[in-house]
Structure formats: structure tokens, C-alpha cells
Amino acid sequence: MMPKETFASLLIDNLVIKEDEYLFGYLHRLIQFSECHSEAALFREMDMPAPRRFGEAVPKWAVRMSPFFSTMSRAELIENHLGGGFWRGFLDSDSWIDSHAHVLNIKISMGAYFLFRAERVLFSFQSLKFCPKCYEESVQKYGFGIWRTKHQDMTAFICHEHEEVLYHRENSDFKGFKHSDDFFDRSKCFQPKLTVLHRWLDFETARIRLKGVEACREEMKLHKRVFLESSFCSEKDSPMRELVKEQWAKALKKYLLTLYPHHRKNIEALAHTSMVDPIELMACRKPTHPLIFLLFKLFSLYELELPSPELKS
Ligand SMILES: [Zn+2]
């Protein structure tokens, strides 16, 4: 249902979201342009909580904000401005999004609720990312910089239009809603030194965006089926399952330390989550976060070492 005309709806109608603009960055633009209206009042009008972090696939504030876009459906908003064009490929169907949004729309306050398994633990690794050349083009075209949605895919590290390594601004730099106006200041950002792992993840991300959601879903289902059929580890407490679990926990730690070398403490904490149980990742219906799914795919294809058949008996 469309909300009645409010300052928020007028603002959104007049300050149009740009093509491929990340919703979180757009919200910041709205706040900057609505000087006469406090951000608290704006959030109140939209009945949404102030975002305290970024990187959630479908945050509560975005679900509440969505009806204020008079010319865009929630599905379009998710697809083009929240990264759905990438991560929807890791859900077996869109019904996950509908039931997620339904829960987020329930008025009573509730604890954190996430679309993907492991999303919560990955927050501390998230960065806002930008390409300096895209930024310059955006300033020339619009007069201001925008955060491009496809650069925010957690496994994207390169702008393929300009062959530039993306600059990262860490989630921990963001304090409440008031982050600094100079958020594109390169001296406050870092560019990761790209390893083969970064490049492989980036390649997979670009490939998934190119092939589309349905193709990615089919691949994911096939990969899960082949893994579960071939690794002989479906029985609970089987020695084979323990073996795979042990190897995966080690590999996951190694991958994450390569990607996020400054987050050693958080990475250690992951060893105690369900993310290190391969069967939980591959057999459970609850969607697994794209980063973890891709890392597990890499592990199971190239690193997993199973004993030869004669050792299994
Ligand atoms: Zn670029």
C-alpha cells in the first residue's frame, strides 16, 4: 500500500535514486539534502529504524522504506539497489525474501533477523567500496559521487569497467547514521592487495551477475547434490563427515585470513559456528551466505582430500 504523501515521499520522488545506486548510500544522500528535516523525523515518517550498519541483504529499514518509492516495486529495489541481482542466485526461491520481509514488517520489536545463514558474523568484514574512476564519472554526471550497487557485492574486488581495484571503507568506520561527508576520501580507505583468492571470488561474482539468477540457482543446486552424493558424509557422526569438517574449518580460516587479515579475532570465533559444518551448509534449506557458499565451493572442488576407497572401510 502506498503511504500518504509525506515529506519523505516527496523527497524520494524528487531526489531520484540513480541507476545502480546502493540504497544505503542513497539514504545518506536523502539525509544530506533534507537539512530542514531532522533525520530522526525522516526515519519516524517512514516508520523505520535508523540503519546502524550496512551490508545486510534485506535490512528492516529498507523493507519499511520500500513503499515510499512510488515508481519502483520492492523486487526492483532489491534487485538493483540492494544487490539482489547477485545474491538472489544463492536462494533456491524468492519466497525466502517474501517471508523475510513479512517478519520484518511485523510491528513488535524483535532481535536481529537475517536472510542468510552466517550473515550476522560476516558484518564485521563488510566494507563500502568504490572505484575512483566511477566516482569521478558520477561527479561529472550528477555533481556528486554514488556508491554503486554491484561494487558492494561482498565478493567483488575489482571494477570491471575501469580495471581498478576497489577502495574499501570499513564498516567499523561508520558510526550510527552520521558518517562523514568525506566518505569517498581515499586516504581513509584501503585497497586490498589482491591474491588469487580475491581474483577467483571476483571472477565468480562477475560470472554470476552475467549469467543471471536462475542459472546460478541451478548451479548451486547441482553443486550441493554432487557434493552430498560424492563425499559420503551424510551420516551424522560418521568419521568421513568429521574429516571433511576438520579440513573445511582449516580452509575457511585460511581463506578468511587471506581476505580479512585484520580480523583475526572474529575469524577465530567462526570456528564455533554452524558455518564449519559442511552438512549444515550443503543439506540445510536455509540459504547460506554467498561468500561462504563460494568459499565452500572452492574448497570442495580443489582442496578437499578424501581417503582412497580402501581406507574407508
Ligand atoms: Zn569503475
Distance 131 CA to ligand 1 centre (A): 5
- The stretch 23-52 carries a mean pLDDT of 84
- For the record, the C-alpha cell of 278 comes out as 559442511
- The CA 163 to ligand 1 mean position distance, Å, reads 7
Q: Which helix (H) or strand (E) holds 98?
A: helix 95-105
Report the separation in Å between the CA atom of 134 and the middle of ligand 1, taken as the mean of its atom positions.
Answer: 4
pTM over 0.85: yes
Q: Where are the alpha helices (DSSP H) in 82-184?
A: 84-87, 95-105, 119-122, 132-142
Contact 43, 50 (CB under 8 A): yes
- Please give the average per-residue pLDDT across 113-137, as a whole number: 90
Q: What is the distance in A from the centroid of ligand 1 to the CA of 172? A: 24
- Residues 138 and 159: their CA atoms lie apart, in Å, by 14
Give the integer Cα–Cα distance in Å for 139 and 165. 19
Instruction: Tell how far the Cα of 153 is from the centroid of ligand 1, in angstroms.
Output: 14
C-alpha 160 – ligand 1 centre gap (Å): 7
Q: Is the pLDDT of residue 31 over 60?
A: yes
Rounded distance from Cα 122 to ligand 1 centre (Å): 25
From ligand 1's centre to the CA of 74, what distance in Å? Answer: 27
Under the banding of pLDDT at 50, 70 and 90, the label for residue 67 is very high
- Near ion ligand 1, which residues have CB within 5 Å? 131, 133-134, 159, 161-162
Instruction: Give the integer Cα–Cα distance in Å for 79 and 53.
Output: 20
84 Cα–ligand 1 center, Å: 20
> From the CA of 265, how far away is ligand 1's center (Å)?
32
Spatial distance between the Cα atoms of 102 and 289, rounded to a whole number of angstroms = 20
* pLDDT of amino acid 188: 86
**Cα dist from 123 to 107, 147, 267, whole Å:** 25, 18, 12
Q: Give 3-state DSSP helix, strand, coil % of the chain, rounded to 5.
A: 60, 5, 35
Residues 166-205 have pLDDT tens digits of: 999 887 777 666 655 577 888 889 999 999 999 999 999 9
In tens, the pLDDT along 127-162 reads 999 999 999 999 999 999 999 999 999 999 999 999
pLDDT for res 83: 97
Mean pLDDT, residues 294-306: 92
- Rounded Cα–Cα distance for residues 305 and 161 (Å): 38
Distance (Å) from CA 154 to ligand 1 centroid: 16
Sign of the dihedral through C-alpha 97, 157, 181, 26: negative
Task: Work out the average pLDDT over 122-128.
Answer: 88
As given in the structure block, the three cell numbers for residue 181 are 561527508
pLDDT category of residue 313 using cuts at 50, 70 and 90: very low
The residue among 11 and 307 whose pLDDT is bigger is: 11
CA of 16 to the centre of ligand 1 (A): 22
Bridge partners, 21 (sequence order): 148
- Compute how many other C-beta atoms are within 10 angstroms of the C-beta atom of residue 276: 19
Which range, of 232-246, 249-263, 293-307, averages the lowest pLDDT? 232-246
